[in-house]
């Protein structure tokens, strides 16, 4: 099976956030590596969350936030339909995750991802076959090679 990685919103935000230069560099390295290997996917939830955070926390002007969000849409092929919402309800109860994390997990599973890249701690290192990895403790080369 080939590697397919669902990238959580926090990775996209850190890639733009100059307040944390080490995390910014690592997030950018992940996005470059995954982009080159075409192993990346996100759901509409990631684009929505990013757009909100880009303006509220990163202080991007509306046009810049829109441009950044449109760049994420290129990778937006993980579904978020009523099927994923129903699955998220089950995942939240079973693994005691936050609602938003459960929705991300449901989208990643529906997209047949092998890995979920997030800084957020999960209740389990593997959820229904989806391996959770922290981009700040794992290098992209460990997952997708040197590219």
pLDDT 10s digits, 44-84 = 999 999 999 999 999 999 999 999 999 999 999 999 999 99
Bridge-based pairing state of the strands 40-41 and 115-117: unpaired
C-beta neighbour count of 99 within 10 angstroms = 12
Other Cβ atoms closer than 10 A to 22: 9
State the Cα–Cα distance between residues 143 and 140, nearest whole angstrom.
5
For residue 73, being part of any structural domain is answered with: no
Contacts of 30 (CB under 8 A, 6+ apart): 7, 11, 15, 117, 135, 140
Residue 96 is assigned to a structural domain of this protein? yes
- How confident is residue 123, by pLDDT bands cut at 50, 70 and 90? low
Please report whether residue 49 resides in a domain. no
Instruction: Return the percentage of the chain with pLDDT > 70, whole number.
Output: 96
Q: Measure the CA–CA gap between 36 and 19, rounded to whole angstroms.
A: 26
With respect to residue 108, please indicate whether it lies within any of the assigned structural domains.
yes
Task: Give the up-direction half-sphere exposure of residue 138: CA atoms within 13 A in the CB hemisphere.
Answer: 19
Q: Half-sphere exposure (CA, 13 Å, Cβ side) for 91? A: 28
User: How many folded domains does the chain comprise?
Assistant: 1
Q: What is the mean pLDDT of residues 6-26?
A: 97
Q: What's the pLDDT at 134? A: 95
Q: Radius of gyration of the chain from Cα atoms?
A: 14
User: Residue 65 falls within a domain, yes or no?
Assistant: no
Does a structural domain hold residue 54?
A: no
Question: Is residue 56 situated within a structural domain?
Answer: no
Please report which confidence band the pLDDT of residue 120 belongs to, taking 50, 70 and 90 as the band edges. confident
Q: Is residue 127 a part of any domain in this protein? A: yes
**What domain range is 115 assigned to?**
5-43+78-141
pTM to 2 decimal places: 0.94
Q: What is the pLDDT of residue 117?
A: 97
* Predicted pLDDT at 146: 59
Q: Do 78 and 110 meet the contact criterion of CB atoms below 8 Å apart? A: yes
Answer whether residue 9 shows pLDDT above 80: yes
Judge whether residue 1 has pLDDT over 60.
no
């Amino acid at each position: 099976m080939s590697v397919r990685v669902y990238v959580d919103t926090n990775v996209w935000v850190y890639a733009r956030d100059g307040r944390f230069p080490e995390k910014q560099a690592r997030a950018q390295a992940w996005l470059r590596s995954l982009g080159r290997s075409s192993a990346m996917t996100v759901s509409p939830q990631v684009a929505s969350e990013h757009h909100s955070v880009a303006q509220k926390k990163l202080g991007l002007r509306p046009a810049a936030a829109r441009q950044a969000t449109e760049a994420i849409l290129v990778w937006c092929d993980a579904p978020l339909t009523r099927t994923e919402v129903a699955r998220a309800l089950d995942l939240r109860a079973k693994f005691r995750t936050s609602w938003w994390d459960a929705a991300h997990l449901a989208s990643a599973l529906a997209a047949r991802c092998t890995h979920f890249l997030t800084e957020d701690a999960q209740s389990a290192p593997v959820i229904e076959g989806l391996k959770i990895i922290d981009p700040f403790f794992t290098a992209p080369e460990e997952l997708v090679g040197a590219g």
